[in-house]
Chain A
């Protein structure tokens, strides 16, 4: 039997516990879990999440079908009619505008535009964690660690590293692998 490391096993655990791996791979994963307390704890967490899956409330399926039935005339035959109407409408409007331009009618004196209402728009909730920040250009020669990520991002603390994950998309594959290794060590 192949011996698998923790990082491989933890990647595969959701699939192993859901029966999406082949029998031999499943045995490999479960054999590792049996002998590793850390991976065992992770397996328990996954089992707990899968134990009570989120289910649609009663009646939602019927409401969806009813909404689709009401929508059906538009979605099948009516969609083409709507598209045709939109194209014709666009052509008519375009023609009208061209005629207006060609006539070059004198413009009436415009009255002062009404001022736009201004309202306070302070957000009710603080900005979502996933705001973009300027990152140093990813470089394969500069390994990214949790500590270096914190140094590169002003105001990043360990807690916010957990909570602010929008920066990960900007990292290279090499940097992500380094970060993952640090996380697992």
Chain B
């Protein structure tokens, strides 16, 4: 017989985020640059998970960072700074996606570049590692499942934080996460 375990996760916010934000607000360039260094990977990762293409993700990530750190007065502290900046990254990427569809410039490629190269029969030298296969499969999930899985596993956010980020409910995020994981396992069998 199993019992419910009280499993407590630790808060993911870096302890000195708030201090750095206050210092950056006051004009401390060093504090602002430390925030850039701390969140550049996360911001890019979220943009990449939405757009699926490296160059677009870089543009969206740069826009997001400038929007966030260029206007720190908008950060009110309701959520963690990390959740706040990731939300800006998500909005920036989605906005870029909408602009690209409207201009008919690009059909978003769901699979990763390496996976596409590996599927090219003339490129037999490229062998995907298991990790690369998993990442490529993740890109093929529908957006909400993809984001729920990526934000939970890659960014380490809890369901409540993810719900705040993607304008969903905690329960729906949880279901999307488990649906996404189940789908990934089926794709990788």
Contact = CB atoms under 8 A, between A and B. Distances in A.
Interface of A: 2-5, 8, 10-12, 14-16, 18, 20-22, 25, 28-29, 41-42, 45-46, 48-57, 60-61, 63-65, 67-69, 71-72, 74-76, 79, 123-125, 128-130, 162-166, 168-169, 171, 173, 176-177, 179-180, 183-184
Contact of B40 (A20, A60, A166, A180): A60
B82 interface: no
B183 A162 contact: yes
Given A130-B143, A183-B182, A60 B7 contact: no
Contacts of B101: 123-125
Contact of A4 (B5, B8, B143): B5
Interface of chain B: mostly helix, strand, loop or mixed: helix
Contact of A79 (B32, B71, B188): B71
Contacts of A183: 175, 178-179, 182
A121 B168 CA distance: 30
Contacts of B142: 129-130, 162-165
Given A129-B142, A169-B172, A180-B175, A20 B9 contact: yes
Interface residues of B, number: 71
A54 B184 contact: no
B58 interface: yes
Interface in B76-124: 101, 104, 107-108
A54 B44 contact: yes
Contacts of B181: 10, 42, 45
B45 interface: yes
21 contacts: A3-B3, A8-B7, A21-B8, A21-B9, A46-B153, A49-B149, A54-B48, A55-B44, A57-B58, A63-B62, A67-B66, A68-B65, A72-B70, A129-B143, A130-B143, A162-B179, A168-B175, A169-B168, A173-B171, A176-B174, A183-B175
A54 to B, nearest CB: 4
A25 B5 contact: yes
A164 B168 CA distance: 14
Contacts of A45: 134, 181, 184-185, 188
Contacts of B154: 49-50, 53-54
